[in-house]
Amino acid sequence: MSDSYSEAAAAGPEHGGSVSHVVPMKVLIGVWAALLVLTILTVAAIKVDLGSLNLWIAMAIATLKASLVVLYFMHMRYDRPFNAIVFVTALLFVMLFVSIAMLDSKAYEPELVPGYAPGMPK
């Protein structure tokens, strides 16, 4: 009934049937275990006082976890690159949005009035 379809499923990306790659069970379990380890790591890392570095470490671990989910659970590694382009573009725009907003709010004196709003002229 759908021979070419099943063939494509069996063939995987290296044979041009890029659509329906079956992720091996070993990979799925490995990614799951890695995600659990990284969760424990992120909880443990926050207990060590590293100043402002703590936030960046937490974000780096979260990004590593997110990458694992996207690449393996969401099949992006085996998918057509165009889907990745769409998704990564959205991520880049969020980063652009947040960075420019942060630049703007850093352009003012935040502690002009202690604990109150920024942006009041001196």
- By CB under 8 A, tell whether 37 contacts other proteins: no
> Phi and psi dihedrals of 26, rounded to 5?
-60, -40
In the bound state with other proteins, the residue whose beta carbon lies nearer, of 1 and 14, is 1
- By CB under 8 A, tell whether 107 contacts other proteins: no
Instruction: Write each residue from 77 to 106 as x if it is in contact with other proteins (CB under 8 A), else as -, in one continuous string.
Output: --xx-xx--xx-xxx-xx--xx--xx--xx
Cα 88 to chain centroid distance, Å, stands at 9
Out of 12, 42, 77, 78, name the contact with other proteins by CB under 8 A: 42
What does the alpha-carbon distance between residue 24 and residue 29 come to, in Å, rounded to a whole number?
9
CA angle 5, 71, 61 (to 5 degrees): 165
Tokens 């070993």 belong to which residue?
26
What does the alpha-carbon distance between residue 109 and residue 107 come to, in Å, rounded to a whole number?
7
In the bound state with other proteins, the residue whose beta carbon lies nearer, of 3 and 14, is 3
What does the alpha-carbon distance between residue 98 and residue 80 come to, in Å, rounded to a whole number?
28
Instruction: Give residues in contact with other proteins (CB under 8 A).
Output: 1-6, 8-9, 17, 19-20, 22-23, 25, 28-29, 31-32, 35-36, 39, 42-43, 46, 49-50, 54-55, 58-59, 61-62, 65-66, 69-70, 72-74, 79-80, 82-83, 86-87, 89-91, 93-94, 97-98, 101-102, 105-106, 110, 112-118, 120
